[in-house]
Structure 1
Amino acid sequence: MNHHDLPARLSLASPADVLAAVPYLLGFHPTHSVVTVGLTGTKVTVVSRADLPDPAEVTRWVNAFAPQQIVVLGNVSATAVIVVGYGAAPIVTPVVDVLRPRLLAAGIDLLDTLRVTDGRFYSYQCRDPRCCPVDGLPFDPTTSATAVRAIAAGQVALPDRAALVASVAAVTGPARDAMTAATRRARQRLTAVQAAGGRAAVIRLGRAAVEDTFDRYRDEHVAADDEVAWLTVLLTHIAVRDIAWEATTGTQPWHMAVWTDLTRRADPSLAAAPASLLAFAAWREGLGALAAVALDRALTADPHYRLAHILDRALRDGIPPAVLEQWPSTGEPTA
C-alpha cells in the first residue's frame, strides 16, 4: 500500500498519464495485477496492488478484496478511485465486472476502469470510439512524458515485483560466508558484554552502534561485516531496536540505505529487526510495496515479530504514516 501526494510533481491529465505513473507509484511495473489508485480531491493519496485471482475464484476474491479497499480508501478520505487490471481480457474483465458494483455501492466515485494488455490499454467506462477505440490504444509506460518526469523527480520503477523482492533478499555466496563468521564473533562479544555489564551495557553499546552506523551511511560509506553483525545482534534487544526505531524517520535517503543493507547482510535468523525498520522507513516515505516485501522478510525470520505485524496491519488498512507521526514516542510501550 503506497501513500502519495503525486500531483505536486507530476500532472495526470489522461488515462495514459495515470498508467505511466502507476509503476512509479508502486515502485515496479505491475503484471497480472489489479491496481487501485485512490484520489482525495485532485491528489493521488493511496495506491494498492494485488495479484489477479484465478477465474474460478473471482467472486470469493472480490468478496475479500472489495471491503479491504473500501477501508483503505476511507482511511485516506479518498473521494474517487481508478481501477486498472493488467492481463488478458478473460482474466481481467470478470474481476472488473464484480468489483465495480461493489465499489459503487459503497459510494465511491469510480473515475475509470482500465485494462492493460499486450502494450495497449482499454477503458471499460468510455464508449466514445474517438478516444477509446474497441481495439484499445497503444501504450508504452517506459517512454511516456510522465515516466520521464517521474525519473527526473528521482522516482524508480523496477522491472517487476520479483526485482523488488530481490532488492531486499539475503546476500549469498562469499558475502554470506563472511557475514556468518562475523555474526558468530558478534554473538560471542554480546555474551561477554552481558556477563560483564548486563542490560545497561548492552543498551549503551547499542546506542553507540546505531549512532556510528547512521554516521557512516550519512557519509555515503558502508559498514564493515563486523559492524553490521554487531548491530544486528544488538537489535535482538528490544531497547536497542527502539533506539534505532526512534532514529529512523524515513526522511533521510540514507535511512533507507542503512536498513536495506542490514536487511540483506544480516544473518537470516536476525533479519526481523532490520527488515521491520526498513519497512517503517519505506512506509514513512510512501513506498508501500517496498515496505511489504521488507515485512515478508521480517516475518520469514520471525513469524511472531510484533513490530512487523503492527506495520503489516497498518499497510493493509491503508493507514497514512502521518497518523503515527510521533511513533514510537518516549515512554510508550514498544512492540
Structure 2
Amino acid sequence: MRRRRSHRPSRPRRHRPAADAANDLPVVRASSPGDLLSLIPYLLGFQPEESLVMLAFAGKRVVFTARVDLPVPANAFEHGTAELVAEHFAGLARHHGADGVLLAAFTRHEAEGAAVLGVAQEVCGGLLLSAWVSDGQTFCAVHHGVAGPAEPYDPQTSAAVATAVYEGMTVLPSRDDVAASAAADPPERRTRVKELLGRFPARQMTEAQERLDELVDGYAELRLLSEDEIAELLVLCRDLAVRDRAWTVMSRDNADVALDFWGQVARAAPLDDSAPAVSLMGMAAWVSGNGALMLCCADRVAVEHPRYSMGQLLMDLAVSSVHPKEWEEIRHHLTDDDHGVDHSAA
C-alpha cells in the first residue's frame, strides 16, 4: 500500500515517561535534590501545581510515578484521607517492585504540604527515602511534618533537565493543558463531521475490519486525517469488534502514532459518537506511557458516556496504575483465538 505523506501535528505531543532502559526510553541521571525536583514535570508531562507526587525507585532507577491533587485547607485531610493516599502510594510502589519512594509536595502552602508529608512519612516508614515540599524554585526537606530550611534550585540550569530535553521529553504548563489536548474541537467542526456520518453505511464485519485496516495502516506513520476519514472511522467503530481491532493493533512501538491518529478522531467526534474514539485515544496514551492524558480521556468519557465500558476500563487502569509494559501480554490475550474480547457492554 502506498504510504501517505507524513504529517507533524500542531497539537502537543505526548511526553516521554520515566526513564526505563529496558523499554528503550531515555536514561536521565540526577545528581541532586534540585535535579530530581526539576525532572518531575518531565516524568509527569506537565508542571505540577498543588500536587503530591511520588517517585518509586528500584535501586537508583525510577520505576513508577504517581500524582494526586493536594488539598490546600488544613482540614482537608481529616478522616484518614491522608493515610489512605499514602497507603495507596506505598501499595503501588511495592506492586511495581520498588524498594524506596520519594515524596514531593508542590504547593504554595508550605505548612499544609509539610503536614501531608508528615502523615505520609508515618505510613510509608522505611520505604520512604526523602520527603520534600517545593514551590517550584525552592524546596525544604520535611521531617515529622515540619519543613526545614529552604534551599534554592533552578530547573533552567539543571543538567538533568538539559538531558531530558535533548532526549525528547517535553512538559506542558499545567494539567489543564494536558486535558485540552483531549478536549473536543469547536462545535462547527464537530457539526461538519456529524453531517458526513450518513455517507458511510454500516458494513459487514469482515468488510468493516478490512476497511479499518486500510485506514489505520498499522499506525505506520503520522498523517493528517480528512474529515471524511474521521467520519468513516467513527461509523466503523460503532461496531465493538471493529473498535477492538483498532485497539489491539496498538503496540508500544506504534503508540505515538496511534495516539495522534485517535486524538484527531476524538477531538472532531460529535458527542453521540465520541466514546469509541476518546477511549481509543486514552488507550494509546496509556500504551505510550502518558498516564496524565489517559486519565483526561477517561474523565471525558465519564462525562459524555458514563456507562461506556472501555471508558470505565481506562479509569480502572488509571486507579490501579497498571504499567503500560503489561499491554503486550494483555494484547496477546485479547487476540488469542481462545480468548475473545468481551463485548457484553458498550
Please state whether the residue corresponding to 1:327 is helix, strand or coil: helix
Q: Deviations over 1:53-90 (max 9, x none)?
A: 23212133213312321221122011100000011212
The answer on 1:56 being equivalent to 2:75 is: yes
For 1:19, the equivalent position in structure 2 comes to 37
Higher RCO (CA < 8 A, seq sep 6+): 1
- Take 1:118 and 1:71, find their aligned partners in 2: how far apart are those partners? 27
Q: Which residue, 91, 97, 122 being the options, matches 2:112?
A: 91
Is the contact between residue 142 and residue 148 of structure 2 (CA under 8 Å) also seen in structure 1? no
For 1:307, the equivalent position in structure 2 comes to 310
For 1:276, the equivalent position in structure 2 comes to 279
Please state whether the residue corresponding to 1:223 is helix, strand or coil: coil
Q: Deviations over 1:96-144 (max 9, x none)?
A: 111110111xxx5211101112621111159xxxxxx954222232442
The answer on 1:153 being equivalent to 2:167 is: yes
Q: Is the alpha carbon distance of 1:43 and 1:216 closer, same or farther for their aligned partners in structure 2, counting shifts above 3 Å?
A: closer
Unaligned runs of 5+ in 2: 1-15
Pairwise CA distance, 1:9: 1.4
The answer on 1:180 being equivalent to 2:182 is: no
Please state whether the residue corresponding to 1:124 is helix, strand or coil: strand
The answer on 1:265 being equivalent to 2:284 is: no
Q: Is the alpha carbon distance of 1:38 and 1:240 closer, same or farther for their aligned partners in structure 2, counting shifts above 3 Å?
A: same
Please state whether the residue corresponding to 2:253 is helix, strand or coil: coil
Is the contact between residue 66 and residue 103 of structure 1 (CA under 8 Å) also seen in structure 2? yes
- Take 2:143 and 2:167, find their aligned partners in 1: how far apart are those partners? 32
Percent pairwise identity: 25
The answer on 1:234 being equivalent to 2:258 is: no
The answer on 1:164 being equivalent to 2:183 is: no
- Take 2:136 and 2:222, find their aligned partners in 1: how far apart are those partners? 41
* 2:194 counterpart letter in structure 1: T
1:246-257 maps to which residues of 2 (within 5 A)?
246-252=248-254, 253-257=256-260
The answer on 1:39 being equivalent to 2:57 is: yes
For 1:197, the equivalent position in structure 2 comes to none
Pairwise CA distance, 1:207: 2.3
CA RMSD of aligned residues (A): 2.4
- Take 1:318 and 1:118, find their aligned partners in 2: how far apart are those partners? 26
- Take 1:202 and 1:144, find their aligned partners in 2: how far apart are those partners? 57
Please state whether the residue corresponding to 1:36 is helix, strand or coil: strand
Q: Which residue, 68, 80, 99 being the options, matches 2:100?
A: 80
Unaligned runs of 5+ in 1: 127-132, 195-200
Pairwise CA distance, 1:213: 3.0
Is the contact between residue 72 and residue 316 of structure 1 (CA under 8 Å) also seen in structure 2? no
Pairwise CA distance, 1:311: 2.6
- Take 2:189 and 2:325, find their aligned partners in 1: how far apart are those partners? 39
Is the contact between residue 75 and residue 320 of structure 1 (CA under 8 Å) also seen in structure 2? no
Is the contact between residue 275 and residue 304 of structure 2 (CA under 8 Å) also seen in structure 1? yes
Pairwise CA distance, 1:334: 2.7
- Take 1:249 and 1:86, find their aligned partners in 2: how far apart are those partners? 34
- Take 2:151 and 2:212, find their aligned partners in 1: how far apart are those partners? 52
Q: Deviations over 1:19-54 (max 9, x none)?
A: 111001000010111001111222111111111123
* 2:300 counterpart letter in structure 1: R
Is the contact between residue 216 and residue 246 of structure 2 (CA under 8 Å) also seen in structure 1? no
- Which stretch shifts more, 320-329 or 160-169? 320-329
Q: Deviations over 1:279-330 (max 9, x none)?
A: 2222222211111111112222211111222232122122222334232422
For 1:317, the equivalent position in structure 2 comes to 320
Pairwise CA distance, 1:251: 2.1
Count of residues in Structure 1 that have an aligned counterpart in Structure 2: 313
Q: Deviations over 1:218-269 (max 9, x none)?
A: 4432111111011112212101111101112242221111021111111133
Is the contact between residue 183 and residue 233 of structure 1 (CA under 8 Å) also seen in structure 2? no
Q: Is the alpha carbon distance of 1:178 and 1:163 closer, same or farther for their aligned partners in structure 2, counting shifts above 3 Å?
A: closer
